[in-house]
Structure 1
Amino acid sequence: MHLLRRAGATPGQLRRMMVGEASIVALAGAALAVWPAMLGGRALLDRFQDSGQVASGVDHVFGPIALGSGIGITLFASAGAAFLAVRRGTRTGTRSGRSAGPARNVAGYAALLVGAAGVCATFTMNATDNALMAAPAYGAILLSVGFAVLSPLLLRALLGRLGRPITALFGASGYLTVLNLRRRAAELSAILMPLILFTGMATATLYMQAVETSAITASGVVKSVEDKTLETLNLVVVGIVVVFSCIMLINSLYAATSYRGREFGQQRLAGATPGQVLRMVGCESLILTVTGILFGTLAAIAGLLPFTVVRTDTILPDQGPGIWLTIIAVAAAATLTTSLATARRTLRTPAVAAVTVAA
């Protein structure tokens, strides 16, 4: 965008170009999603009918309301995001990777405040209330959002305390890792956001649903239609969010690592070996994974513990760490595999060629 501005393009021309591109991509993506959406809706209806939550005579209908809402939301979100990105990128003096400013931090703190209020509201409810899960679940989600928005600040704070131990442990690769993470903290928030959301939302919702199911079973009460519906919807929503977060995480990692070809080439020309660069990327991914899992888990625990106390009169759930270990295993595998595989592929280009082409 800066090159186009220097070539004579006006901010209005850039906005129209980028918003137009985003709208075309959104329409193409929405068109490709129609057939999977029809199949998914039919499968969900079959699941409801098999469990007795919906009458067998109800037919699956995919009409203009579903189609219009899906395409409309996708188009609005894509065009709106492109407009905001271009507006920020075309401002005078704006540099790539610059922080979004105090407004973003205010939004993050507000999400933390509202999330904490939702978690605390759990203690004002009874164990048999139908909406008991809503307050801690939404509170955990908002806490995850707050941590995700404030991820650049959180990452810098962790590096301030762990910078020297990382350098001592990993040597030259650790030193490069700390420097890169401090310099690119704002850019790396695009990776930490889906990682924190994935960990926090999946952990909180799955554990709460497991606690609720165990409590109903222990009481000897047969699950009602409302209980089955709530369980199914929780699993569907969590599944959609988890899959979307994983895809977003993988895409962000691939893009962030692929665009560092010139940086890797400069480091190799300065004396770093391909192995050191690869270890640096692995160390960065490890730190990002630990950071995302840490704050995502904190958000989940903040919502899970009040729910468990009110629902079962115990502090910790009886399900054990199996669900959490599975979640962090998926998060770590997605992060480390994507970043290392992309870096290895990028390093195949000779250092001189990488610097020359990228320049």
Structure 2
Amino acid sequence: MAALVLGQLRRRPAAFVGLAVALFLALATMTLFGSLLAADGSGPSPARQAVAGPGPKVIAGVFGEIAVLVALFVVINALGFALRQQHRELALLRTVAATPRQVRRLVRGQVVAITVLVAVPGWVVGTAAARRFLTELQRRGMAAPGLRVSATTVPMLVAFGVALAVGLLASAVAARRISRIAPAAALAASSTEQGRAGVVRLLAGASALTGGSLLLRLAATRPAEQADKAGQAALLGSLVLLIALALAGPLLARALTAVLGAPLRALAPGAGWLADANLRGYARRLSSAVVPVALLVGLSGTMSIMTSTAEHAAGAAATSAASSTDVWLRQTELAMLVCFAAVSTVNTLVAVTAERRREFALLRLIGATQAQLMRMLTVEAVLTAAVGVLLGAAVAGAASAAFSTSVTGSPVPTVPTAACWWIVTGAAVLTVPGIVLTGLRAVRGPAAELVGGGRD
């Protein structure tokens, strides 16, 4: 089994880059917050009580909770695409008598191997970030001056355990389908898309939607003096709603594409029609590309609008040390979430486009030119970005409305127009060039050989 694990990592290193980066971010983030908890716990009790604001322990706990949930979301997504790149090999293993348990062991082995590879870099970066973060907290009066990030290995080992647990849980989710279907069906599924979402997936999506709605209701009913609790409930609610979106993504993405695709079909009859047909015909693939964009826009938009709403609620007194520190904390949390979301977006879009080489080769064999394929991909990229932005904006709007209800009494939040435009622009910059540049490479090569499976 170890030889199979290492062989796949050596044969397809590019397929595991996104997973490695996601696990690295998870491990570095857990090391950062674990080191803060250890530093705060080792300091003298009177010093800890003298600081202003929540203190390092509370900040690390709240940030770490959000980071684990986002890391799980991103790692599941990255591992899912790593498995799609190996789908033929895993299907062939099933046809030569590999059991579902052995396939799952292979996937778990890959997760363990990659987690071990990124452990030392994650520890180094996380510890350095913890020292810098603690220094900034001390400068703002939110941590006692005597606290120090020690050289103890406990936070590192805990971070490794959490990152490994996240990866193994992701492997259980991502490997479920390929390990459970019949061997012959597994081989056939490697070149086709599953038609309908399962009942279990739809029920899970409905449960996540209910949970997210309850969290937003909880955020909306918090009193104004508990703005921090309302903000965390709203942020968690937005994340749970994004999970619901991921589970019900094929249905939502197909419906939005049908609406947005109409004007593009009119403007570009050839490329627009083909792009619209591709996106609606492969709803699961479209959902995989759209969800990371929605994650980026939803989390970034929620944090930006909540920060602006809190500043507006504070009024002219927002220049006080406490309010400026709150803004800084939200901006720091936003930066962390954007890193995870951006990694997920780029990895997903590159993987989704790269795996379509055989599809592009077949289109070339029936007469399509590379220029026509690139026009089709450009239209697809624009549609993907638009659908992702709309879904993410819907989640951000619901979450920020709940927060605004708690803080100001009105469901209409203060929207920072410039910041929101930057978020939309960032999502478009990650999406459109990512798809188009990957497509430039994917449409090249001998078409007949690619259709026949001679090259990957």
Is the TM value for this pair above 0.5?
Answer: yes
Q: Which moved more, 1:34-43 or 1:316-325?
A: 316-325
* Matching residue of 2:404: 308
* Matching residue of 1:5: 94
The 5 Å alignment of 1:104-253 reads: 104-130=201-227, 131-219=229-317, 222-224=320-322, 230-253=326-349
Task: Tell me by how many angstroms 1:205 deviates.
Answer: 1.3
Q: Which moved more, 1:45-54 or 1:140-149?
A: 140-149
Specify the SS of the correspondent of 2:92.
helix
**Alpha-carbon separation, structure 2, partners of 1:187 and 1:358:** 22
Identity of aligned residues (%): 29
Between the two proteins, the alignment pairs up a number of residues equal to 357
Cα 1:229–1:27 shift into 2, 3 Å: farther
Cα 1:14–1:148 shift into 2, 3 Å: closer
Q: Does 1:254 align with 2:346?
A: no
**Alpha-carbon separation, structure 1, partners of 2:443 and 2:316:** 56
**Alpha-carbon separation, structure 1, partners of 2:176 and 2:402:** 42
**Alpha-carbon separation, structure 2, partners of 1:189 and 1:166:** 19
The CA RMSD measured in Å over matched residues stands at 2.4
Task: Tell me by how many angstroms 1:267 deviates.
Answer: 0.5
Cα 1:65–1:235 shift into 2, 3 Å: farther
**Alpha-carbon separation, structure 1, partners of 2:219 and 2:136:** 31
* Matching residue of 2:430: 334
Q: Which moved more, 1:302-311 or 1:147-156?
A: 302-311
Q: Which moved more, 1:49-58 or 1:116-125?
A: 116-125
Task: Tell me by how many angstroms 1:102 deviates.
Answer: 1.7
For structure 1, the residue ranges without an aligned partner over 5 or more in a row are none
- TM-score where L is the length of structure 2: 0.72
Cα 1:124–1:167 shift into 2, 3 Å: same
Cα 1:148–1:11 shift into 2, 3 Å: closer
* Matching residue of 1:65: 154
**Alpha-carbon separation, structure 1, partners of 2:110 and 2:302:** 37
* Matching residue of 1:272: 368
The 5 Å alignment of 1:29-68 reads: 29-68=118-157
User: Quick one: which of 90, 101, 104 aligns to 2:198?
Assistant: 101
Task: Tell me by how many angstroms 1:48 deviates.
Answer: 0.5
Specify the SS of the correspondent of 1:133.
helix
Tell me the amino acid that sits aligned with residue 303 of structure 1.
A
Q: Which moved more, 1:346-355 or 1:277-286?
A: 346-355
Specify the SS of the correspondent of 1:58.
coil
| Paired residues of 1:118 and 1:135 also in contact (CA < 8 A) | yes
Task: Tell me by how many angstroms 1:278 deviates.
Answer: 0.8
Task: Tell me by how many angstroms 1:315 deviates.
Answer: 5.3
**Alpha-carbon separation, structure 1, partners of 2:426 and 2:394:** 18
Tell me the amino acid that sits aligned with residue 307 of structure 1.
F
- TM-score where L is the length of structure 1: 0.90
**Alpha-carbon separation, structure 1, partners of 2:167 and 2:410:** 45
Task: Tell me by how many angstroms 1:24 deviates.
Answer: 0.3
Task: Tell me by how many angstroms 1:309 deviates.
Answer: 4.2
Tell me the amino acid that sits aligned with residue 171 of structure 1.
P
**Alpha-carbon separation, structure 2, partners of 1:11 and 1:302:** 41
* Matching residue of 2:3: none
Task: Tell me by how many angstroms 1:231 deviates.
Answer: 4.0
| Paired residues of 1:262 and 1:358 also in contact (CA < 8 A) | no
User: Quick one: which of 279, 283, 295 aligns to 2:379?
Assistant: 283
Specify the SS of the correspondent of 2:165.
helix
* Matching residue of 2:106: 17
* Segments of 4+ moved more than 6 angstroms: none
Q: Deviations over 1:225-245 (max 9, x none)?
A: xx5665444333322221111
Tell me the amino acid that sits aligned with residue 331 of structure 2.
L
* Matching residue of 2:163: 74
Q: Which moved more, 1:50-59 or 1:107-116?
A: 107-116
| Paired residues of 2:311 and 2:318 also in contact (CA < 8 A) | no
**Alpha-carbon separation, structure 1, partners of 2:208 and 2:97:** 41
| Paired residues of 1:30 and 1:70 also in contact (CA < 8 A) | no
Q: Deviations over 1:104-154 (max 9, x none)?
A: 222222222222223233443332234232333333332233223211110
Cα 1:117–1:9 shift into 2, 3 Å: closer
Tell me the amino acid that sits aligned with residue 105 of structure 1.
L
**Alpha-carbon separation, structure 2, partners of 1:112 and 1:120:** 12
Cα 1:103–1:312 shift into 2, 3 Å: same
Tell me the amino acid that sits aligned with residue 176 of structure 1.
L
Tell me the amino acid that sits aligned with residue 365 of structure 2.
L
For structure 2, the residue ranges without an aligned partner over 5 or more in a row are 1-89
**Alpha-carbon separation, structure 2, partners of 1:159 and 1:132:** 34
Cα 1:21–1:309 shift into 2, 3 Å: closer
**Alpha-carbon separation, structure 1, partners of 2:263 and 2:309:** 39
